[in-house]
Chain A
Amino acid sequence: MESDPKPLKFFAPEATESTELPLAESTVHAGFPSPADDFLEGALDLNDLVIKHPEATFFARVEGDSMKDDGIVQGDILVVDKAVEPYDGCLAVIYLDGEFTLKRVRFEAAGIRLIPANPKYPVIEIRPDEPFEVWGVVNWVVKPV
């Protein structure tokens, strides 16, 4: 009989990554399996609700009371989405005079107006030739009650 000249080949299993899988809750018992196991769905995740574009989403903390009539006060957390194009009337984080500011943005023929939600603060007018940057649009506010 002719012997096979091929040498033996050894294989080693690669186990460099672990993947977590959702587990069915009931372990194997002699009794009746949980009828809910066939209907498992993931639990609700708040992230799914407030984060539309994970790569573009940043969180920011509010300091000051100029937006208090919109219900946004000191310490609230803003969910800022840089993927959203600024639109007329949007709430936005704006980089202005060396700091980040929260205001409602109005795009008007004469220029851009930044509107506070507190009568103690003035409306800020941006002339068309002034440098102005919307850093991100605020979609949600997270706050304790």
Chain B
Amino acid sequence: MYGLCDCNNFYASCERVFDPSLEGRPVIVLSNNDGCVIARSNEAKRLGIAMGQPYYQLRELMRQHEIAVFSANFVLYGDMSRRVMNLLRQFVPAIEVYSIDEAFLDFTGMNAELFDELGHRMARTIRQRTGIPVSIGIAPTKTLAKIASKLCKRYPKLAGCCLLNRPEDIEKVLNRFPIDEVWGIGRQWQRLLETHGIRTAQDFVRLPESWIRQKMHVVGLRTWRELQGEACIGFEQMPTTKKQIATTRTFDREVEDYEELHRRVAQYTGACAEKLRRQRSVCGEIRVFILANRHNENRPQSYESRLVKLSVPTDDTLELTALAARMLRSIYRKGYGYKRAGIVLSDLRPKEGQQCDLFDMADRTKHARLMEAVDALNMTYGRHKIRTAAEGPEPFKMNRNHLSRRYTTDWNQIIKVKA
């Protein structure tokens, strides 16, 4: 049996833990630079605020309702996530952290009669100890566990846990569950299924295997089987090293100047390379992208990106920064108001055990020592203390006008209690 524990409106819930006056009020959390909405409390959802909606579009709504707005406080959310995950580990033999607010649970070898009670106890304990409300779904497959967890959100009476195990219950649920909300059914498949009149998960299950295999291949077949209670997606217990490392930012204003864009991209490259070294990987590919303002129709629109494959995988900031600059130079165009840029490192592999390239001209040992020294200094004296010249004198400030305190990670920002 599998479980899925999903924290309800996680970022908004984190803010509420430390400011209980937000209970019952619409709460929204904005992306880096206060660009758009990345989390909503139920009250905010009911006002029709959409995921990803640009903040400036909400002005009218803000005037009419008392909406609490927060800049994303990832330091706080990360710490609260760690607490929730550690609690989950105390209840089941293994968990697979799926995202900052979601984890799969492995119930192998546990008494099936106790699942329901155990799930409810987990939900209660997490709520009491961290203040975070969670929805736990328990079912024979991961895909069904996801559905069960969503049911908890829809039906508060379930009190945070839904056990979906008996075939007749599963069928009853699938009969009413929209196919586009099923885990693994992307927008493209949703469109395909819609044209064939498939609306619910049960409609989908009734399709013949050959049809699924032909139109949706093995991946679709996996979802089809999982919905019928046959576990096809295994449990990954080991925290997998990331397959991709990215730093992307929306700017606080439009940027036309090449020099400034260059500095920003160099900063993202530096941050990515540091993350890469921290997980002891090297990357075989680097991508740069820049995006002109999409929300300003009077300006020319543009999205440009370049990818370079490296003949020798690397984790060297200097090498990656030079490559990023070359790519940026080739995609930058004068006269565009750029609003977003990013660096994506992919084709990641473990640093140890890399093959040498006979024609490699770089002195990798020397550079590795340099990077080690840079990382050590930045660890001791603070981030960005040692950086490439391309990054410029100081990091660009993010617009975070609604940032809450770092209640759990900074002694100067802990909760204040009136006595």
Q: Is B353 an interface residue (CB 8 A)?
A: yes
Q: Is B20 an interface residue (CB 8 A)?
A: yes
Q: How far is the CA of A59 from the CA of B408 in the complex (A)?
A: 7
Q: Is A62 an interface residue (CB 8 A)?
A: yes
B415-A59 in contact (CB<8A): yes
Q: Is A125 an interface residue (CB 8 A)?
A: no
Q: How far is the CA of A55 from the CA of B414 in the complex (A)?
A: 16
Q: List residues of chain A with CB within 8 A of the CB of B280.
A: 15-17
Q: How far is the CA of A74 from the CA of B378 in the complex (A)?
A: 35
A55-B87 in contact (CB<8A): yes
A102-B130 in contact (CB<8A): no
B417-A61 in contact (CB<8A): yes
Q: List residues of chain B with CB within 8 A of the CB of A59.
A: 408, 411, 414-415
B81 to chain A, nearest CB (A): 11
Q: List residues of chain B with CB within 8 A of the CB of A98.
A: 21
Q: How far is the CA of A43 from the CA of B251 in the complex (A)?
A: 48
Our pick among A12, A15, A64, A80 for the contact of B419 (Cβ within 8 Å) is: A64
The majority secondary structure among interface residues of chain B is: mixed
Q: List residues of chain A with CB within 8 A of the CB of B351.
A: 15
B419-A83 in contact (CB<8A): no
Bitwise interface map of B from 222 to 242 toward A, beta carbon under 8 Å scored 1, else 0: 000000000000000000010
A63-B350 in contact (CB<8A): no
A56-B130 in contact (CB<8A): yes
Bitwise interface map of B from 325 to 352 toward A, beta carbon under 8 Å scored 1, else 0: 0000000000000000000000001111
Q: Is B128 an interface residue (CB 8 A)?
A: yes
Q: Is B213 an interface residue (CB 8 A)?
A: no
Tell me the residues in window 61-109 of chain B with beta carbons closer than 8 Å to chain A beta carbons: 83-84, 86-87
A55-B130 in contact (CB<8A): yes
Q: Is A67 an interface residue (CB 8 A)?
A: yes
A100-B417 in contact (CB<8A): yes
Q: How far is the CA of A72 from the CA of B419 in the complex (A)?
A: 9
Given contacts A12-B350, A83-B128, contact A78 B21 (CB under 8 A): no
Our pick among B83, B279, B350, B415 for the contact of A61 (Cβ within 8 Å) is: B415
Our pick among B21, B128, B414 for the contact of A77 (Cβ within 8 Å) is: B414
Tell me the residues in window 59-86 of chain A with beta carbons closer than 8 Å to chain B beta carbons: 59-67, 72, 74, 77-78, 80, 82-83
Q: List residues of chain A with CB within 8 A of the CB of B279.
A: 16
Our pick among B128, B414, B419 for the contact of A67 (Cβ within 8 Å) is: B419
Q: How far is the CA of A64 from the CA of B21 in the complex (A)?
A: 21
B366 to chain A, nearest CB (A): 21
Q: List residues of chain A with CB within 8 A of the CB of B83.
A: 54-56
Q: List residues of chain A with CB within 8 A of the CB of B418.
A: 63-64, 66, 99-102
Q: Is B129 an interface residue (CB 8 A)?
A: yes
Given A53-B129, A59-B411; 17 other pairs, CB 8 A cutoff: A15-B352, A16-B241, A16-B350, A56-B83, A58-B407, A58-B414, A58-B415, A59-B408, A61-B414, A62-B419, A67-B419, A72-B419, A77-B414, A93-B417, A100-B415, A101-B417, A101-B419
Residue pairs across A and B with Cβ atoms less than 8 A apart, 25 shown, are: A11-B353, A12-B352, A12-B354, A13-B353, A16-B279, A16-B281, A16-B350, A55-B129, A56-B83, A58-B407, A58-B415, A59-B411, A59-B414, A59-B415, A61-B415, A63-B416, A64-B419, A66-B418, A74-B419, A77-B414, A80-B415, A99-B418, A103-B419, A133-B20, A135-B20
B interface residue numbers (CB < 8 A to A)? 20-21, 83-84, 86-87, 128-131, 241, 279-281, 349-354, 407-408, 411, 414-419
**What 10 pairs between A and B have smallest CB-CB spacing?**
A12-B353, A56-B129, A60-B415, A55-B83, A64-B419, A102-B419, A100-B417, A67-B419, A95-B20, A15-B352
